[in-house]
Structure 1
Amino acid sequence: MSWRGVLGVALVLAAIFSGWSAWRMRDRSEPPADTTQRSDYVLRDFELVMLARDGTESLRLEAPQLQRNREDESLAIDRPVFHTPGQDGAWRLTADQGWINADGDLARLTGNVAGDSAEGHPVPTTFRTDTLELLPDQDLARTGDRVTLTRPGIMQTGVGFQANLQTRQYQFLSQVQTRYEPTPRR
């Protein structure tokens, strides 16, 4: 056999081996995509000030950790502390967890939600619930869960609650119970 015959047989064998190899590898699928949620960035021990459209402060946020979701650009917050300005002083809203949508016009607080009026306010007010939606552009806080609201001399509970954080007007939506506790005169 001449060198041309040997070369031809070698090329035919290489072509057969290449075809067999390609056919065998065609059944392999791509490795599964990483399904764990990744953050664009993480903030630790921070204070963030959100401004309204007119440039005034609409919300101040402090927390030990914030993570921005890469897919929907929302923010997940551990132990958030929100400060909302008001005509008669600020509100301090705390929770175990918080979430803010990408536009920053909706915040959800979950787990041991507490709302407290600013220290030194003439009518100290507190409320407690399990979940709360905060709409900073509208100065509105609302929930469909049970809420306990306490002011000097009065304690109210109900299911469903809305509060205007600027004017301090609030409304229970159902199952309202009120208990008056008069303060003793001196």
Structure 2
Amino acid sequence: MNWKVWLTIVLSVAAIVTGWSAWLQRADPVAVTTGPVRSDYVLRDFEMTALNQEGQESFTLRAPLLEQDPSERTITIQTPLFFVPETEGGHWQARSKLGWISAGHDELRLEGDVRMTSPEEGGRDIALATERMTILPETNQARSDEFVTVQQPGSRIEGRGMEVDLADQRYTFLSEVKQRYEPRRR
């Protein structure tokens, strides 16, 4: 036999053995595990102030727990207390059981026993109560699609759906409106 034939046979056998060995030693596919998504960061017992595009206060937040979602960059908060500035220098206070802040920090959502009060400096003592509310600090607006109660000295207004201009302290109810005048006690 020719040496070229022997070389071809040896190389073919070596290739077959190498391929078979590689096939036996191939890695098992990595199992993808899914678990709870971990927060980007967590803050406990904190106070933070968010600034708008002009570097002025957009809102201030106090809460016992804040967590940021790493993929969406949104923030969830337990029992938040928001301070939203108004043009006259005071702050609206809004609290609830749960809170959410959009990735751009331009939308605040409050859920569960929402209570909102007007600034003390404004001269009008307004208290709003509902189950869900959205606050837009950039435009100084708040709104809710839920049943809302507005209490102020001498009157109580209830209705479903409401929009509030926080700067002017004007509110508009959308439906099922009831108003009751409550005389002040002397």
Q: Per-residue CA shift, 1:77-121, capped at 9, x if unaligned?
A: 111100011226321000111111111111111111100123465
Instruction: Identify the range of structure 1 (11-20 vs 85-94) with the bigger mean alpha-carbon deviation.
Output: 11-20
Q: Which residue of 2 aligns with 1:4?
A: none
**Other structure's SS at 2:24 match:** helix
Q: Which residue of 2 aligns with 1:178?
A: 179
Please show how residues 92-103 of structure 1 align to structure 2 within 5 Å.
Answer: 92-103=93-104
Q: Which residue of 2 aligns with 1:5?
A: none
Q: TM-score, normalised by structure 2?
A: 0.83
Counterpart Cα distance in 2 of 1:136 and 1:115? 14
Q: Indicate which of 5, 24, 28 corresponds to 1:21.
A: 24
**Other structure's SS at 2:21 match:** helix
Q: Which residue of 2 aligns with 1:136?
A: 137
Counterpart Cα distance in 2 of 1:171 and 1:88? 23
Identity of aligned residues (%): 34
Q: Verify: 1:83 aligned to 2:104, yes or no.
A: no
Q: Which residue of 2 aligns with 1:33?
A: 33
Q: Per-residue CA shift, 1:103-149, capped at 9, x if unaligned?
A: 11111111111001234652211010011111110101101000000
Letter in 2 for 1:65: L
Counterpart Cα distance in 2 of 1:88 and 1:102? 26
Q: Verify: 1:111 aligned to 2:112, yes or no.
A: yes
Question: Which blocks of at least 5 consecutive residues in structure 1 are unaligned?
Answer: 1-7
**Other structure's SS at 2:138 match:** helix
Q: CA deviation at 1:166?
A: 1.4
Counterpart Cα distance in 1 of 2:120 and 2:19? 84
Counterpart Cα distance in 2 of 1:16 and 1:90? 74
Counterpart Cα distance in 2 of 1:33 and 1:142? 41
Q: Which residue of 2 aligns with 1:59?
A: 59
Q: Give the alignment's Cα RMSD to 1 decimal.
A: 2.3
Count of residue pairs the alignment pairs up: 174
Counterpart Cα distance in 2 of 1:145 and 1:80? 19
Letter in 1 for 2:21: S
Structure 1's consecutive aligned runs of 4 or more residues displaced over 6 angstroms after TM superposition are 11-14
Letter in 1 for 2:37: Q
Counterpart Cα distance in 2 of 1:153 and 1:98? 31
Q: CA deviation at 1:50?
A: 1.3
